[in-house]
């Protein structure tokens, strides 16, 4: 398996990667151009269908690309990409090609036109499911229709933003399974 070798992953389990609150990279495509933005404001909303709610400010170049194509890929970067994540968040796709600028590889997705970012730990292909709050809040509800996740490491080190240029890195993993009722797991 290559460095970025990934397996299919059950879409109903994406909470495992998104619920802890990592910064993600959102890739999109529209009329022959691609773009990438950083996003920290998102939440899992349902297991099945696999729904993720995302704030994409209208000021982002990606906003119209995603609103028009009604698709995107949510990519999970690890700390190996820290400076790239910051760079992507501090530039605009209106001026540069972010894949080229940051040396990232655009792999074809299976179910959407937006590209996967090969160098990320996981890639979640998304279709816009509900745009009811896009006009009022810039809030997009996506359905994850296909998920690709690297098999190792089991718990990648992720970036969690706190504002002011400061990130919290994911730390120790602990299990409290013995305290859960079986139906709550």
Interface contacts to a copy of itself, rule CB under 8 A: 13, 15-17, 19-22, 40-46, 51, 53-55, 82-83, 86-87, 89-90, 130, 132-133, 136-137, 139, 141, 155, 157, 160-181, 184-185
Please write down the HEC assignment for all residues of 74-136.
EEECCHHHHHHHHHHHCCCCCCCCHHHHCCCCEECCCCCCCCEECCCCEEEEEEEEECCCHHH
**What is the closest distance, in whole angstroms, from the C-beta atom of residue 69 to a copy of itself in the complex?**
22
**Is the distance from CB of 13 to CB of 185 less than 8 angstroms?**
no
**What is the closest distance, in whole angstroms, from the C-beta atom of residue 119 to a copy of itself in the complex?**
18
**What is the closest distance, in whole angstroms, from the C-beta atom of residue 115 to a copy of itself in the complex?**
24
Which one, 116 or 141, has the nearer CB to a copy of itself?
A: 141
**What is the closest distance, in whole angstroms, from the C-beta atom of residue 152 to a copy of itself in the complex?**
16
DSSP annotation of 48 reads T
Which one, 1 or 173, has the nearer CB to a copy of itself?
A: 173
Which one, 87 or 113, has the nearer CB to a copy of itself?
A: 87
Q: How far apart are CA 140 and CA 42, in angstroms?
A: 9
Q: How far apart are CA 184 and CA 168, in angstroms?
A: 28
Which one, 30 or 41, has the nearer CB to a copy of itself?
A: 41
């Amino acid at each position: 398996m290559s460095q970025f070798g990934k397996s299919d992953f059950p879409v109903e389990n994406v909470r495992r990667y998104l619920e802890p609150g990592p910064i993600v990279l959102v890739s999109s495509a529209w009329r022959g151009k691609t773009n990438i933005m950083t996003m920290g404001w998102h939440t899992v909303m349902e297991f099945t269908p696999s729904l993720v709610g995302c704030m994409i400010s209208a000021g982002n170049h990606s906003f119209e690309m995603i609103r028009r194509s009604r698709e995107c890929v949510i990519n999970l970067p690890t700390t190996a990409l820290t400076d790239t994540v910051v760079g992507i968040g501090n530039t605009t796709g209106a001026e540069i090609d972010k894949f080229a600028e940051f040396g990232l590889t655009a792999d074809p997705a299976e179910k959407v036109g937006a590209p996967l970012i090969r160098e990320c730990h996981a890639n979640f292909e998304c279709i816009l499911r509900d745009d009811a709050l896009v006009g009022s809040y810039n809030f997009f509800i996506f359905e994850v229709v296909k998920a690709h996740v690297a098999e190792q490491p089991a718990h990648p080190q992720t970036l969690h933003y706190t504002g002011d240029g400061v990130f919290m890195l994911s730390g120790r993993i602990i299990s409290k399974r013995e305290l859960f009722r079986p139906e709550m797991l």
